Amino acid sequence: MVSRSAEPRAGNGSSPTIDAVSLAIIEQLQEDGRRPYAAIGKAVGLSEAAVRQRVQKLLDQGVMQIVAVTDPLTVGFRRQAMVGINVEGDLDPVADALTAMTECEYVVMTAGSFDLMVEIVCEDDDHLLEVINKRIRTLPGVRSTESFVYLKLKKQTYMWGTR
């Protein structure tokens, strides 16, 4: 069982406050995103209606999403890579352009060797080359890229939300 503080969690000023009950609901949904609200209610001490209302509020606030996570290999995407990108000038326009690309599943601004890190999911090596060479490297402000091609994915979880 994940330990939780009784104190509400607040983010960096503009983030919604998340109390222990909401954290428990998130934990239940991370274990099984299709778990019935009635079962979640029993586990967290709320009615089904109260759970439904809290889940909707968490979704509306952007605190969480409920999605089906697939293994890219099983649905036709044979190549994944993490790409480190160095940018000249403002990062926002480059990050915005990357977030608009369907192949970019994860875009984060970083401190360190790279300004941006982007996870790319492609059909094959030709598709990956096209995305990096023709679309990312040609963005205004992109100074350099370094690609880290995935050979084998050993672990992928989404359970950090309640630790």
Per residue in 3-57, pLDDT (tens digit) is 334 444 444 456 778 899 999 999 999 889 999 999 999 999 999 999 999 999 9
Q: Is the pTM of this model over 0.75?
A: no
Per residue in 76-135, pLDDT (tens digit) is 778 999 999 999 999 999 999 999 999 999 999 999 999 999 999 999 999 999 999 999
Residue 83 exposed, middle or buried by CB count within 10 Å (0-12, 13-18, 19+): buried
pLDDT value, residue 16? 78
Residue among 77, 82, 67, 66 nearest 26 (CA)? 66
DSSP state, residue 92: H
Hey, what are 33's tokens? 């995103």
